[in-house]
Structure 1
Amino acid sequence: MEGEANGTLHPSCRATEPPYSQELLQSLDLPGRFLFAILTLMTLIANLVFIEEVVYIYRKISSSKRSVIIWINAAAPVIATTSCFGMWIPRATMFTDFTAAVFFAIVIHKFLMMMIKECGGQKLLLRRFENGHFKISTGPCCCCCLCLPRVRITRRTLFWLKLGTFQFAFLRPMLMFLSIVLWTNGNYTLYNLSPKGAAIWINCFVGVLTILALWPVGIMFQQVRTLLICKKIIPKFALYQFILILNHLQGAVINILAMQRIISCAPPLSSSARGAHMTQQLLIMEMFLITLISRMVYRRRCDDLEPPERMAEEVGDNKIILNGAVNEDGLRV
């Protein structure tokens, strides 16, 4: 900081590229090395917990739900793993961030599919809500547009909801591939957000696609959260939201602070590289905790929902019982 005030910046503070891993490791003191070891151990434990959870899912969960539940549970360990690689190899940050972003884009689509499968599949969902309507005035796209009409729940509207999340899972990898191609030609720089650079335009387009993908998930959650409360859908949705916020919003805030030099340079890390480094370390700790919590939430076995016809029969029986009192032996008194 004194060097910045005197106008004599360390050469690494002017660098546009992060340092090599050898330079970073040589600059670490004893507490820094201890932190690296602890974070690496946390990443390893998170992956071991996930592997144990996969074994449990294959033994206890029906085959129709295994795939989506494994994908969703893998989000936190995968982000922790990519962050660990980015922490050890700072120059790989762009690639590790891209990998985590592409994986989570697929998880968004899988979460929507999980809610549909937990309702018994698309056919049973349509039968349960055959006279129902989707509330589309929900976040993050239209939470303030309360005047929007409700939309009937049909096969067509379900198709549009699934398309809304699938487009992100399909287009996000393509945009990441385009970013890498432009980076090799010098047209894409991760920390260059000037209008002349490609990064600002690609990031804005990705932001729009993200909002359009999160909207169908919010619409479906508002519709099924009461029905799936026995399936712990509220804590599952909360974990999904935490991963989204920590992986995207947290990194964006730290990146802005680093670009404004609020996060100072710490040789051999420039301000931008140090901000990315802090993001990686925070994500490892956060994803480790989310992995442990996810294991508790998803490990609770829940019975399948009853078919709509049986629910209707039970409602009819309850109406008959309510007309009189019933003793412990089932006799009317």
Structure 2
Amino acid sequence: MDNRSIPTMDPGCLREPPLAIDIILKLDIFGIILYSVLTFMAAVSMLIYIEECVYIYRKVPNNKKSVIIWVNGAAPVIGTMSCLGMWIPRATMFTDMFSACYFSIVVFKFLILMVEEVGGDEAFLRRAGKHKLRISTGPCCCCCPCLPYVAITKRSLFLLKLGSFQFALLKPVFTILSIVLWTNGTFNLADLSITGSAIWINPFVGILTIIALWPVAIMFMHLRTTLRSLKIIPKYAMYQLVLILSQLQTAIINILALNGTIACTPPFSSAARGYMMSQQLLILEMFIITLVTRLLYRRQYDPLPEEEHEDNENTKMAPEP
């Protein structure tokens, strides 16, 4: 056999992700401009978020301050973590985990935000008590229109909150477990074998994510008309966009990198280059989302007008079956 016909792989494609100093020393003019611009975007996003927190602290009622600050922080926090992962590639797993943990809390906080915009639990139950919840929504049951409508009670409201809260609680728990297993050498995102811990932990976390997103979608479908004047539809769109970009987009890029679809460019292996591309895209995307969310949430937070008891009353909430 002619050995010249056997392709050889660059040794740099088999190495661990480079150190931060190695990246800095090997940056060309284009790389310097790219890294500088993306770092500037991440810094501006965080400054905008800090300024928004000051505005919220001064202008927003106490019952809404915390939830709005949490929801507003999704894009700038993910952008900042992505910037750290871009400069320190070996920390990418940890920065992604921190971003995912933060967003798991945002999922629950967005549900609470919609309830608080109505006036809180009691006001929501008073307004919506005569209506019913449509549970045939995504991401769980959008293909099941035959599911019955559910009465709005304290119990059903508690179950909706619990469905999202479990993700905010369990996601950090599984993140800590993953880090502990990683220090023991038994957690590796690239290890997709049946004996690897990642192949068991990640799908289970995915199931928890779907369960947590379902109550938020149910609540949004019910209140989208009531809260239309508060721009709840574009707010929900931004929340969904952060979810898609930070979770689905990152997962797709990482899968392509692990399969070798993304080419290796030393000192970055295919996987490391995939992570790098994901971080750089997220910085740009989260910067744009930060600017949009600032426009959406920077407003006067007056109480929502009382629902009018007229013939068109059912237009205020989701109609009953």
Q: TM-score, normalised by structure 1?
A: 0.90
Separation (CA, whole Å) in 1 of partners of 2:261 and 2:230: 44
Per the TM alignment, residue 25 of structure 1 is displaced from its structure 2 partner at its CA by: 2.1
Does the 8 A contact of 2:12 with 2:268 survive in 1?
yes
Aligned to 1:261: 260
Amino acid at match of 1:244: L
Aligned to 1:319: none
Q: Spell out the pairing of 1:1-333 with structure 2 (5 A cutoff).
A: 7-15=7-15, 17-308=16-307, 311-312=308-309, 315=310
Separation (CA, whole Å) in 2 of partners of 1:180 and 1:108: 23
Does the 8 A contact of 1:254 with 1:276 survive in 2?
yes
Higher gyration radius (CA): 1
Aligned residues, how many?
307
Separation (CA, whole Å) in 2 of partners of 1:116 and 1:193: 41
Q: Deviations over 1:157-207 (max 9, x none)?
A: 000000000000000000000000100111001222222211111110010
Amino acid at match of 1:200: I
Does the 8 A contact of 1:27 with 1:268 survive in 2?
no
Per the TM alignment, residue 302 of structure 1 is displaced from its structure 2 partner at its CA by: 4.8
Q: Which runs of 5+ in 2 are unaligned?
A: 312-321
Q: Deviations over 1:246-286 (max 9, x none)?
A: 00000011011111111000100000000000000000000
Separation (CA, whole Å) in 2 of partners of 1:206 and 1:300: 36
Q: Which runs of 5+ in 1 are unaligned?
A: 317-333
Separation (CA, whole Å) in 2 of partners of 1:111 and 1:284: 22
- 3-state SS of 2:266 partner: coil
Separation (CA, whole Å) in 1 of partners of 2:20 and 2:192: 25
Q: Deviations over 1:41-90 (max 9, x none)?
A: 01110011111111111121111101100000011110011000000000
Does the 8 A contact of 2:86 with 2:280 survive in 1?
yes
Q: Deviations over 1:210-268 (max 9, x none)?
A: 00000000000000000000110000000000000000000011011111111000100
- Higher alpha-carbon deviation: 31-40 or 293-302: 293-302
Separation (CA, whole Å) in 2 of partners of 1:79 and 1:292: 14
Per the TM alignment, residue 6 of structure 1 is displaced from its structure 2 partner at its CA by: 5.5
Amino acid at match of 1:65: K
Aligned to 2:316: none
- 3-state SS of 1:65 partner: helix
Does the 8 A contact of 2:61 with 2:301 survive in 1?
no
Per the TM alignment, residue 12 of structure 1 is displaced from its structure 2 partner at its CA by: 2.0
Does the 8 A contact of 1:133 with 1:151 survive in 2?
yes
